[in-house]
Amino acid sequence: MRIGELARRAGTTTRTLRFYESQGLLTAQRSANGYRDYDEGDLPLVTEIRTLQTVGLTLDDTRPFVDCLRAGHESGDACVGSIEVYRRKLAEVDACINRLAAVHAELHDKLTRALTGFTADPCTVPEEPT
């Protein structure tokens, strides 16, 4: 299939597919007139890449998944390299969650301290400066 058809079926753009090709994630055959030709097996590769990117994986992170699919597995996460990426990414997300939880706790403490003894009348609207 031509690049436009693959892009349409995968829900992406031809520019994205050319970029994936430049990064070594896709390989197109060239017809006599120089057009890129892809086979049916490239559609799951593109779909896998796009799905993984939506959950925060980088293009480099997707390589083991693409390799797994190219090796004939039905799923890109059926290989050891893919499992390692999942584990590493989960550790990164856990670390981020822990940092955010610490920030949340600190902000909560600051707000609690700021509100201690706060007695402003909630019905009073401050006057505009003249």
Q: pLDDT per residue over 56-102, tens digit each?
A: 999 999 999 999 999 999 999 999 999 999 999 999 999 999 999 99
Q: How sure is the predictor about 122, in pLDDT bands with cuts at 50, 70 and 90? A: low
Q: How sure is the predictor about 4, in pLDDT bands with cuts at 50, 70 and 90? A: very high
| Percent of the chain surpassing pLDDT 90 | 81
Check residue 54 and give its pLDDT.
95
Query: What phi and psi values does residue 122 have, to the nearest 5 degrees?
Result: -65, -15
**Cβ neighbours, 10 Å, residue 113:** 9
What DSSP letter does each residue of 3-64 carry, written as one string? HHHHHHHHTS-HHHHHHHHHTTS---EE-TTS-EE--TTHHHHHHHHHHHHHTT--HHHHHH
Q: Which long-range contacts link 51-59 to residues 24+ away (Cβ below 8 Å)? A: 52/76, 56/89, 56/93, 57/85, 57/89, 59/20, 59/23, 59/25
Kindly state the tokens that stand for 129: 């400066």
Kindly state the tokens that stand for 57: 């994986």
Mean pLDDT of 38-44: 94
Question: Mean pLDDT, the chain, as a whole number?
Answer: 92
pTM above the 0.75 mark? yes
Check residue 13 and give its pLDDT.
97
**Cβ neighbours, 10 Å, residue 28:** 18
Tell me the CATH class for 3-115: mainly alpha
Domain boundaries, the chain: 3-115
Q: Is the pLDDT of residue 44 over 80?
A: yes
Mean pLDDT of 110-119: 82
